[in-house]
Each structure stands twice: as structure tokens, then as C-alpha cells.
Amino acid sequence: MSIENQAAPTTPAGRTGDGAPANLTHGAGASVTMPPRGPEPQPRGAIIRGNHPIDQQEAARRFMAAPQHLAMHDQRLWDLRQKRDKQKDTIEEWEDLRQLASDIKTHTLTHLDTYLEQFERNAKANGVIVHWAKDADEHNRIAVDILKSKNAKRLIKSKSMLTEECGFREYAGDQGIDVVETDLGERIQQLDDEAPSHVVVPAVHKLRTDVAEVFARTLGSDPNDSDVSYLTEQQREHTRPLILTADAGMTGCNFAVAETGSVVVCTNEGNADLSANTTGLHIVSMGIEKIIPNLNSLAVFVRMLSRSALGSPITQYTSHFRGPRRGAEMHIIIVDNGRTDRLGLEKFWTSLKCIRCGACMNTCPVFRRSGGLSYGATYAGPIGLIIDPTFNRHKYSTLPFSSTMNGSCTNVCPVKINIHEQIADWRQVLAENHEIPAFKKSMMKAAGALLASPRLYRASLPMADSALRHIPRFMLYNRMNTWTRGREMPSVPKETFHQWFKRTRGKDGKKKS
Amino acid sequence: MRVGLFVPCYVDAFHPEVGQATLELLERFGCDVDYPFDQTCCGQPMTNTGCHKESKATEELFVRNFKDFDYIVGPSGSCVNHVRNNFDAVEQTDEVKHVREHTYELVEFLHDVLKVDAFPWAEFPHKVTLHNNCNALRGLNIASMTELREKKFSKPRDLLSKVKGLELVDITRPDECCGFGGTFSVFEEATSARMGQDKARDQAKSGAEYVTSSDSSCMMHQEGCARRLGLPTKYIHIAQILNGARA
């Protein structure tokens, strides 16, 4: 994660308006529109109300009401998508690679038992201590037990979506363990007590001025200095000592290679190496779906991961952790947390192929305009829409509707998950299991009845001479006309096609001469 | 060749001129076109919302209306994509399969089935930008997609290149969804409108006087957004241009 490329706000405080002398902005006669005072506050994510379904649209509306954030977020992620396209164009066999990556994942997911056991055998032979956790609680307990057994008080860790999924940081904190994130973006999010908004660029929704505010509040830096070098240095000065005096390290796992028993972590900051090697204890959190058969298959994924994610040929660091350093200890916690259940879902199991590149988020026009935190779930964006309901069908029942199902996500997915089709499938599952709002369901029932009857359908169409020149009910579905909040209504023609045809062609359909 | 003219509900209600142009165009090429009077909709609004059972009767009606035609042609990629690729609420009888396999979006029908090589009557001396509906693009594959590494092609461009005087201009994000998304446009109104406004701004920036598309639904949304923003861009269905509309 880098904050260097983030656009500066277009109307920062103090910048003068059109043509007025800098010293006269407040002066008599200097009639200019004043820019907003101070930086635009960061819009926050979805409001979580226990188990109530997430209102993504409400959070998205707040995000879109912050023009600087919206413009920066959309442009930054669109840039990533464009860089990804350029990288794709440099590789002649790109589409073959996607197919190959997808096939390798199909193969391993359908032979998980074999490969996981092979992995465990080889990891143990390398001197690694392997643990199995069936869910988040067990993962958290195992990790904290290891830490306590070593009397570890401070844990440095690199970014891991699995630990986010498990709520590990909070759990460890409650158990008296000070967790320090070593990925810059993730550290920003930790300091701001906010979840990552994106799987690869966790603070991408923040402007530099937001980071300055967070650092001022938590590190005591100058709130008015949003210079990138300054901010980075402040963070470094503050966090380095914590890292160097830590007692234990933790990393996630991008790929677990069965034939070697090694875990591979890809970072751009080298912070996985820092987390793994600074102390004498390295704990790896690994989801069972991270397994791949061998180094040859790893080569396929390494070619795709960063190209898809950031549009760079490869991450700065691709670190292979094979076993503990001399005198050190290495643990791997292999976590299920709902994955085998997901594997059993006929329409949705291929979502386990995901390598967390975030390409679907970068290309998603809804994600770019609403920010990852608007989804109120660990996994945001298109992949989130199809994974989150497997964790909690009710709470995340609204998410599959936060999509136009345009299919761009499916096209950029390096492992060819049919994301937009699964979004459609989730809608069906949710509708059939009474997990969509009753008003929506009854509207659809009414629309279905109307559209199945030519007579009712004809009667519902607006008449040109009607006092109510409004969109027909079958398209609007409700009395509150949401259409016109951001758009004009289409004008209603004098006659429908049907009427025109009847008038000019007659019922036999032949042209009247 | 007996062609059933499929006029999607919103075309029927809001853009009868698109249905007329489609009909006339098909007749110009010698198709024996009939318009089944009892047609309503393809069922997409319900299916898109997850309510497959609720769209079953509508899909059955569609099949009853169109089962006897050699081809079914409609000026909407989105609806045609629904019929061809998502018509799953009905039992898959031979009739249903026939309808699914023989329903074409107008552009692909002209391009692939009739293999039209000229529109001698068509002249449109304007700067035009093309909008491909996401279902037409990624579902029916009427053009190559920017996300994929594939040979560039575009059926609507091929057709438009045969129109005298027409100059095609590009926008900066050609494949980006405009946010219509069927019921998305109503249920997720804010995001939908924002996406549409961004699209309309992109189109206006391109210098195009007209936007054309083989889908009226996207354009209805985009035009509504453009009007709200006070942009001068005009919207016209590709059927009208190919049928010789002048402006």
C-alpha cells in the first residue's frame, strides 16, 4: 500500500478562489467563493446494527456526498484497473494463464484432503508446528495460546484477510497482547480503528489529509502537514521501535505449497519478512483454500497476482517461508472457518478459488463509488457479495443487490470465478429463503402477475393524455419515485408501439397502403 | 424467414420509434416480420431481483408468443440476453429451447444472420459515441471487451461504419457500466444515478453530439442523467440510425 499516488484534495483550505490575490481572500471587495474550511472529513463505513441487514446504499450515499473522496477513490482504483489492462496486454498467454490458474484451483479444491495432508507432512518435516482450527474462535485461541506460552506481549503482523475475518486483533488485544500491523495501509487503518476497505490497498479510501488527521490523533504529528514523506516518516519513527522490540511475529499466507510444505507471502513493503524474522516466533494464519500442489503451479499464480491487483509485474517481495530459522519457532494454523461448508455449495464453491487480488473491486463501478467500508463486511466489493452471505445470510442479505451485475468483475478475475453470475444466484437463494425485504418480494409478485397478463399490462401503461404522465407502475414498483432523485423522467410518447402498430398495420400486421 | 418482432416493455412504452425503426429495418432486408400482440416483457425485472418463480408466467407467455418464429429479434441486448442465457424459470421444453436459441439482439441479427453489408439509405453526419449495454457486451459478446486479452472487434461499430457521414468518437471508459442495472436503478437509486451521471459527463466530454446504443434501457437512464446535469448530448437508438434517421 502506498499513499504517494493519492490525489491531493482539489479545494484544500486556504487555497484562494478564482483570481483573487492570496492576501485578499477575506478582504473587502474580494468576492470569491470560499473553499470549504479544512479538509473534507472522511466518510465512514456502513452503520452496523447487530444482526440487521447492512444498508450499503446508505453508506454509499454518504461516500458519494464527499466529492474529494469519491473522485480520488474512483480515479485511483480505475488507474489500477488500467495498469492491470496494460500488464495483461504484455502477456500473450494471459487468457490461457487465467484458465490454467482456475483449473489448478479446481483441482486442489477437489483434492483438498490429499494436498492439505501432504502439506502438513512436509511442513512438519521442515520443523514447523502445524495446528488445525475449525473456526475463528479456535484460530484465535490457538494463536494466543502460542503467544502466551512464549510470554509474548507484543505481536507484529503483516496483512491477512483471514485474521480480519477472525477478528483476531480485537481478541488478542482483549487477551493483553499488543498487536502492531506492519503493512502501512493496514497500520493506518489500525490506528484509525477502522477495518481495511480493500483486500490489497486497505486505506485506499483515505485522502492524505485523513491520514494526517489519524496520525495527529494517534502519533502526535502535525495535523496540518499531509506531506507524504512527512507522514511516512512519522509513522516509521513511531512504529519501528515497536517492531524491533516485539516478541513475536505473524503473517498471512498467499499460497501454501503442498510439495514443499512452505508458505508464500507476497508484499510490496517487505513487511512479511519483517514480521516473520524479527523475533524468534513466527505464526502463520492460513485458510485451507490457500493450498496449491507445487512450485510449478505457484509460478502461474505469481504471474497473475500482482498484475491483476496493482498492474505491476510482480510484488516487490515474494517470500517463501519453509521452516523456522535456527533457534526460532514457526507455527502454521490451518483454518477452516466456514470454508468446507462453502465447498459444499453447488453454485458458490468456486468462490474459494479467490486469491484476494482485489481486481474485481478495482473494476467494480459500484465499489469505486461507494468505498469498501460501505459493505460493512470483511470482504467488500464483488467477491465480498458472494462470500459474505456464507458467513451470515441474514446480515449480508442485502449485499448481492449492491451490483448491476455488469460482469466486469468476472472478466478481470485471474482465477475465472463467475462472480456476477454468483451474485445473481445469491439473489435467487435469498429471495427464496425470505431474505429480501417483503415489499420487494410483493412488488415482484405484482410485477410478475402484471407482466404475465397482456390485458393487465396494457392497462398499466401511461396514456399520453393522462394527467399523470408518469413512468408506468410496472417499471417503478413503488410510490416513492426514487428515479427522479438524480435523473429526469423519460418523456411519454403520444402512443405506445403497440398502439402505433395497431393503428398503422391493423391486427393482421400487414402494412396499410 | 419468419421473424417475430420482440418489442421490450420500456421500448413499447417510452420509445415506440425504436420499435418502428427495428420493424422497418427488418422489412427493408426482406424479412417477413410479425409482431405478436400479446407480448409484454421477458421477465428480467423479477429474475434480476432473485424472484425466479415470479417471472415464470411471464417467461411462459413470451414462449407462447414467439415459439412459431424462425427468429425472434429485439432492439435490446439486455432482454435478449435474459431470454438466451437466463430463461431458467420455465421448464426447458423443446419450444423453450427453440426460443432461447433463436432470439437475437438486432445488431447481432443484422451482423451475423443477415450479414448486412450496406445501409444505402442511412446517412448521419454527426459525431457519435457508442454505448454497449453490459449484457450485450459480456453476455451476448457483440464486441470485444477491454478486460480480456482478445482480438478487437465490434459488431455495432461494423454496422455504424457503413453509415454515410457518421463519425465515431470514444469516451474514456468505454466498457464501464452506466449504472442502470434494471431494478438496481430504482432500489439502489443513489449509486445508479451517480454512475449514470459520470457516464453522461464522459460522453459529453468526448465531443459526441449523439450517443447511440442497441439498448434503450441504458440510454433512458443516461439521458435522464444528462438532462439533470444540463448536458446537451442527444440519445438515439442504433436501429434509428441504421434505418436512415437523419437527426
pLDDT (tens digit per residue) in A235-247? 999 999 999 999 9
Any chain B CB within 8 A of the CB of A132?
A: no
Closest CB to A402: pick one of B11, B135, B188.
B188
Any chain B CB within 8 A of the CB of A167?
A: no
Q: Residue B2: pLDDT band by 50, 70, 90 thresholds?
A: very high
pLDDT value, residue A37: 60
Calculate mean pLDDT across residues B107-129: 98
pLDDT for A471 beyond 80: no
The reply to whether residue B147 touches residue A505, judged by beta carbons under 8 angstroms, is no
pLDDT (tens digit per residue) in B174-193? 999 999 988 898 889 999 99
Distance from the B48 Cα atom to the nearest Cα atom in chain A, whole angstroms: 7
| For chain B, domain boundaries | 2-113, 127-242
Out of 3.40.50.10420, 3.30.56.10, 3.30.450.40, 3.20.20.80, the CATH code matching A91-340 is: 3.40.50.10420
pLDDT for A227 beyond 80: yes
pLDDT value, residue B13: 87
Domain span(s) for CATH 3.40.50.10420 in chain A = 91-340
Query: Average per-residue pLDDT in chain A?
Result: 89
pLDDT for A359 beyond 70: yes
What is the rounded CA–CA span in Å between residue A287 and residue A337?
8
pLDDT value, residue A19: 39
Closest CB to B16: pick one of A366, A406, A496.
A496
pLDDT (tens digit per residue) in A58-81? 999 999 999 999 999 999 999 999
Domain B127-242 carries which CATH code? Answer: 3.40.50
Any chain B CB within 8 A of the CB of A428?
A: yes
β-strand pairing of A317-321 with A255-257: unpaired
Q: Residue A485: pLDDT band by 50, 70, 90 thresholds?
A: confident
Amino acid letter for position A52 = H
pLDDT value, residue B223: 96
pLDDT for A416 beyond 90: yes
Calculate mean pLDDT across residues B95-107: 98
Contacts A–B by Cβ distance under 8 A: 238
Calculate mean pLDDT across residues A436-459: 87
Any chain B CB within 8 A of the CB of A505?
A: yes
**String of DSSP letters for chain B:** -EEEE---HHHHHH-HHHHHHHHHHHHHTT-EEE--TT----SHHHHHTT-HHHHHHHHHHHHHHHTT-SEEEES-HHHHHHHHHH--SS---HHHHHHHHHEEEHHHIIIIIS-----TT-B--SEEEEE--HIIIIIS-SB--TTS-----BHHHHHHTTSBT-EEE--SSTT---S-TTTHHHHTHHHHHHHHHHHHHHHHHTT-SEEEES-HHHHHHHHHHHHHHT---EEEEHHHHHTT---
pLDDT for A18 beyond 90: no
pLDDT (tens digit per residue) in A376-391? 999 999 999 999 999 9
pLDDT value, residue A489: 80
Closest B-chain CA to A404:
B181
Closest B-chain CA to A371:
B191
What is the rounded CA–CA span in Å between residue B100 and residue B72?
9
Distance from the A387 Cα atom to the nearest Cα atom in chain B, whole angstroms: 17
pLDDT (tens digit per residue) in B17-76? 999 999 999 999 999 999 999 999 999 989 999 999 999 999 999 999 999 999 999 999
Q: Residue A47: pLDDT band by 50, 70, 90 thresholds?
A: very high
Tell me which chain A residues have a C-beta less than 8 angstroms from the C-beta of B48.
Answer: 405, 424, 427
pLDDT value, residue A346: 96
Distance from the A321 Cα atom to the nearest Cα atom in chain B, whole angstroms: 34
pLDDT (tens digit per residue) in A144-199? 999 999 999 999 999 999 999 999 999 999 999 999 999 999 999 999 999 999 99
Q: Flag whether the ipTM exceeds 0.90.
A: yes
The reply to whether residue A428 touches residue B50, judged by beta carbons under 8 angstroms, is yes
> Contact, A434 vs A367, CB < 8 A?
no
Comparing A28-37, A283-292, A409-418, B135-144, which segment has the lowest mean pLDDT? A28-37
Distance from the A375 Cα atom to the nearest Cα atom in chain B, whole angstroms: 13
- The better pLDDT of the pair A128, A441 is held by A128
> Contact, A492 vs B14, CB < 8 A?
yes
Any chain B CB within 8 A of the CB of A501?
A: yes
pLDDT for A296 beyond 70: yes
Closest CB to B190: pick one of A61, A432, A447.
A61
pLDDT value, residue A472: 52
pLDDT value, residue A483: 78
Amino acid letter for position A37 = R
Any chain B CB within 8 A of the CB of A497?
A: yes
- For residue A291, list its beta bridge partners: A256
Closest CB to B58: pick one of A403, A429, A452.
A452
Comparing A453-462, B38-47, B209-218, which segment has the lowest mean pLDDT? A453-462
Tell me which chain B residues have a C-beta less than 8 angstroms from the C-beta of A366.
Answer: 188, 191, 195
The reply to whether residue A462 touches residue B13, judged by beta carbons under 8 angstroms, is yes
pLDDT (tens digit per residue) in A202-216? 999 999 999 999 999
Q: What part of A 357-376 touches B (C-beta under 8 Å)?
A: 363, 365-366, 369-370
Tell me which chain A residues have a C-beta less than 8 angstroms from the C-beta of B24.
Answer: none
Distance from the B179 Cα atom to the nearest Cα atom in chain A, whole angstroms: 6
Tell me which chain A residues have a C-beta less than 8 angstroms from the C-beta of B35.
Answer: 501, 505, 509
3-state SS track over A227-252: CHHHHHHHHHHHHHHHHHCCCEEEEC
